[in-house]
Amino acid sequence: MHITVPRFEKIPYVWHGFGTRELSQENLRVQAGKKDLDLVLLDQIHSDCIHVLAEPPETQLRGDAMLTTSSGLLLTIKTADCLPVLVLDERQKLIAAVHCGWRGTSKRLLAKVVRKMSDVFDSEAADLLVVLGPSIGPDCYEVGEDVRECFGEAGLEKGLFRSHPQTPGKYFFDLKLANRNQLLECGVQVENVFSVTGCTHCEKNLYSYRREHLEAGRLLNFIGLL
């Protein structure tokens, strides 16, 4: 019902996972409750807005990333093709959950999260463990000129776009690579970046907005300190 990564699995004070379509919000809430974790969800808006949480928020927060050192919060990101990213600093006992679509990626959201971790909590990028969850793969993620231009303006486009063999003005975009590059540029160590393989668009046990359109549910991706 959810996918885990061995390197994170073996840390006794962390609970994490990337839900498949069988994992409903209600189901996750029940499982979290048994571990004394409160589900925290954002109103995700494809922004670079990052929230640092000490306790469960009293109002619905808008944004695309959350950080905490508090136990009891299950930071949860919803996706259907976008890339969910979970981050852990074992030294500072600090976690983050990040929603990386192409817009957030072009705004360098993940790099900003790494910087925030360092500014607020004295985290070192070299200490961070990061998991890139399941997202739409580079052979399935077709985008237009507007997306490429957006990355070109930000000086980020190199190697991320492959021209569509049949359709001029269309490209295949490597969302995961774009975010991996940002991590490495920030000083995250390559051996500390883990990736869940699989494409949301190809795998029927994952939700895909591109495949299912408005029918698509949302995958729940989570990390919490116990």
Binding stretches for Zn ion (CB under 5 A): 137, 140, 199, 201-202
Spell out the alpha helix ranges (H) of 133-174: 145-153
Greatest extent of the chain over all pairs of C-alpha atoms, in Å: 52
CB of 140 to Zn ion, least distance (A): 3
Q: Which is nearer to Zn ion, 76 or 135 (CB)?
A: 135
Q: Which is nearer to Zn ion, 120 or 140 (CB)?
A: 140
Chain position whose Cβ is nearest to Zn ion: 199
For residue 135, what is the enclosing H or E element?
Answer: none
CB of 198 to Zn ion, least distance (A): 9
CB of 196 to Zn ion, least distance (A): 14
CB of 13 to Zn ion, least distance (A): 35
User: Residues 3, 7, 10, 11: what is their CA dihedral angle, to the nearest 10 degrees?
Assistant: -110
E strands present in 164-205: 170-173, 193-195
Rounded to 5 degrees, φ, ψ at 10 are -85, 0
Q: Which of 106, 104, 111 is nearest to 187 (CA)?
A: 111
Parallel, antiparallel or unpaired: strands 94-100 and 65-68: antiparallel
Encoded tokens for 134:
């399941």
Q: Which is nearer to Zn ion, 15 or 207 (CB)?
A: 207
For residue 19, what is the enclosing H or E element?
Answer: strand 14-19
CB of 197 to Zn ion, least distance (A): 11
Q: Which is nearer to Zn ion, 137 or 224 (CB)?
A: 137
CB of 184 to Zn ion, least distance (A): 24
CB of 178 to Zn ion, least distance (A): 16
Question: 71, 105 in Cβ contact below 8 A?
Answer: no
Q: Which is nearer to Zn ion, 17 or 137 (CB)?
A: 137
Q: Which is nearer to Zn ion, 57 or 198 (CB)?
A: 198
Q: Which is nearer to Zn ion, 108 or 176 (CB)?
A: 176
Q: How many residues does the chain have?
A: 226
Contacts of 167 (CB under 8 A, 6+ apart): none
